[in-house]
């Protein structure tokens, strides 16, 4: 699409004029209010069926599906449009095994020494422990990194604005895209996660954000019986 040049003034009318490159907004779907509501409700109901899954079948998932979901995630808004994220999609069995081994070292430390009793009590209803076989069984792991700064150039490290928030939004969109594609996910955050930089060859200015497990649930898969808060508990309209 052709770009147009738009002259726009700063909020301060005395400030110098700046040139901003613009393009036409892609067309939004033409919906009447009934169709808009129906579409919003259908999407909400679809996402309400999303659950965190810990039992995966080794069934293959085509790379093209993962690529499409990553493109969706990469469309997320970000501070100053710096897009401070990097996704590493891992299907190699040997590499997944090494990730599992490193993650379980940290998980054992967490459950045996680091975690306060209150945290362990909060996790108890979910049935989690230090064993993470899903890291090896699921067909894909997606390691998500955020840029603490840009790569150093001539001794200068460009600042990144709102990298945590931006990457969090992108991860939410990625999970929604994968769910829309009929895949289950699990957000795994062993702490610390510096082993991911070493195993995946990522530079020091990238910080591990989370490890997303992706695949098909096992037949008859069960998940914890939990309840989500009602809308009135999580939203206020003024």
Its pTM stands at 0.89
Domain presence at residue 40: no
In-domain check, residue 143: yes
Q: Are 74 and 66 in contact (CB under 8 A)?
A: no
Q: Which residue has the higher pLDDT, 19 or 72?
A: 72
Domain contains 12: no
Q: What is the dihedral of CA 206, 210, 215, 218, to 10 degrees?
A: 150
Over residues 57-84, mean pLDDT: 98
Please enumerate in sequence order all residues whose Cβ is within 8 A of that of 160, keeping only pairs 6 or more positions apart, or say none.
Answer: 79, 82, 84, 146, 147, 148, 149, 150
Asked, for residue 21, whether it belongs to a domain, the answer is: no
Q: How far apart are CA 107 and CA 123, in angstroms?
A: 13
Residue 162 Rama label (left phi>0; alpha psi -120 to 50; beta)? left
CATH number where 115 lies: 3.40.109.10
Give domain status of residue 45, yes or no. Answer: no
Residue 84 belongs to some domain of the structure = yes
pLDDT at 12: 52
Domain residue limits at 70: 53-234
Beta-bridged to residue 56, according to DSSP, are 217
Q: What are phi and psi of 213, to 5 degrees?
A: -90, 135
Confidence of residue 114 (pLDDT cuts 50, 70, 90): confident
What local confidence, expressed as pLDDT, does residue 115 receive? 83
- In this structure, the strands spanning 18-22 and 4-8 are antiparallel
Which pLDDT does position 166 carry in this prediction? Answer: 98
Domain count for the chain, please give it.
1
Give 137-161 as a 3 state SS string.
HCCEEEEEEEECECCCECCECCECC
Q: What number of other Cβ atoms are within 10 A of residue 138's Cβ?
A: 29
The closest alpha carbon to 139, from 72, 213, 81, belongs to 213
Orientation of helix 163-180 relative to helix 63-73, angle to 10°: 140
Distances (CA, A) of 1 to 21, 22, 26, 185: 12, 10, 10, 35
Residues 214-234: pLDDT tens digits? 999 999 999 999 899 999 999
Residue 29: inside a domain, yes or no? no
Q: Name the band, by pLDDT with cuts 50, 70 and 90, for residue 6.
A: very low
Quickly state the pLDDT bin for 112 (edges 50, 70, 90). confident
Residue 113 in any domain: the answer is: yes
């Amino acid at each position: 699409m052709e770009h147009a040049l738009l002259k726009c003034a700063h909020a301060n009318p005395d400030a110098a004029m700046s040139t901003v490159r613009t393009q036409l907004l892609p067309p939004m779907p033409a919906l009447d209010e009934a169709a808009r509501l129906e579409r919003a409700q259908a999407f909400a109901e679809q996402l309400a069926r999303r659950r965190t899954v810990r039992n995966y079948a080794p069934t293959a998932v085509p790379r093209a599906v993962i690529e499409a979901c990553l493109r969706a995630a990469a469309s997320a808004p970000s501070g100053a449009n710096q897009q401070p994220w990097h996704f590493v999609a891992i299907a190699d069995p040997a590499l997944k095994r090494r990730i599992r081994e490193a993650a379980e070292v940290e998980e054992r430390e967490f459950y045996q020494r680091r975690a306060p009793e209150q945290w362990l009590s909060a996790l108890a209803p979910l049935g989690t422990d230090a064993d993470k076989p899903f890291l090896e069984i699921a067909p894909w792991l997606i390691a998500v990194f955020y840029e603490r700064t840009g790569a150093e150039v001539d001794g200068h490290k460009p600042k990144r604005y709102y990298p945590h928030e931006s990457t969090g939004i992108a991860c939410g969109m990625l999970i929604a895209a994968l769910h829309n594609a009929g895949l289950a996910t699990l957000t795994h955050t062993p702490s610390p996660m510096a082993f991911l930089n070493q195993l995946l060859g990522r530079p020091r200015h990238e910080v591990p954000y989370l490890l997303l497990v992706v695949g098909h649930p096992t037949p008859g898969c069960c998940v914890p019986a939990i309840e989500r808060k009602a809308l009135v508990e999580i939203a206020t309209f003024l």
